[in-house]
Amino acid sequence: MRVRFDTSALRQTEWHQYAIRFVFGGLITAAAGIIAKQYGPVIGGLLLAFPAIFPAGATLIEKHEKVKKQKAGMSGTVRGRQAASIDAAGAAIGSVGLLIFALLVWEFVSSHRSWIVLLGATAAWWVVSVSIWQIRKRASTIRRKYIRVSS
């Protein structure tokens, strides 16, 4: 399956679901600052990779998939759960990119222009995440072909 943009998800999403993600994102960013002030940057830094909006995102995906299947006359419960699981597997891949992001910022932010480091680290997050996703996708395609041939 090719990567593509699908704007239908935006129409399915209600305003309060955007508000929830804005509030959780804002709260955890503010909390990271307060905790860093109170307990130091080492503890505050841990929160920079906290899955703050992950539950909201996974719930939204589960709901969208379920509604889509229900419109087609099916229950959609299983499909919704699978979609949330696949989304979580994608996030696990993205977290490897997040590790590289942190590594690059740690290594270079003190010695280079901060905005360039942050921009470069974000680009590295994307490249690493997408590359792992592509490798995983190709590996599963090859595995499926191999199973088909051997059976």
Partner 1 sequence: MRQIVIRFLVGGAVVSLFAIVGDLLKPKSFAGLYGAAPSIALATLALTVATEGASYAAIEAHSMMAGALAFFAYASFVSCVMMRYKLKALWVTICVMPLWFAVAFGLWSIWLRT
- Chain residues 35-74 in contact with partner 1, contact rule CB under 8 A: 36, 41-55, 57-62
In the complex with partner 1, which residue's Cβ is closer, 54 or 146?
Answer: 54
Does position 93 interact with partner 1 (CB under 8 A)? The reply is yes
In the complex with partner 1, which residue's Cβ is closer, 6 or 150? 6
Q: Does 76 contact partner 1 by CB under 8 A?
A: no
Instruction: Please tell me the distance from the alpha carbon of residue 45 to that of residue 26, in angstroms, as a whole number.
Output: 16
Rounded Cα gap, residues 68 and 150, in angstroms = 36
Q: Is 9 in the site for partner 1 (CB under 8 A)?
A: yes
Min separation Cβ 151 and partner 1, Å: 23
Residue 143 CB, nearest distance to partner 1 (Å)?
A: 15
The yes or no reply on residue 10 touching partner 1 (CB under 8 A) is yes
Determine contact, residues 137/86, Cβ cutoff 8 Å: no
* Separation CA 142–CA 148 (nearest Å): 10
Among 72, 92, 147, 149, binds partner 1 (CB under 8 A): 92
d(CA 7, CA 65): 15
3-class secondary-structure state, position 26: helix
Q: Are 62 and 81 in contact (CB under 8 A)?
A: yes
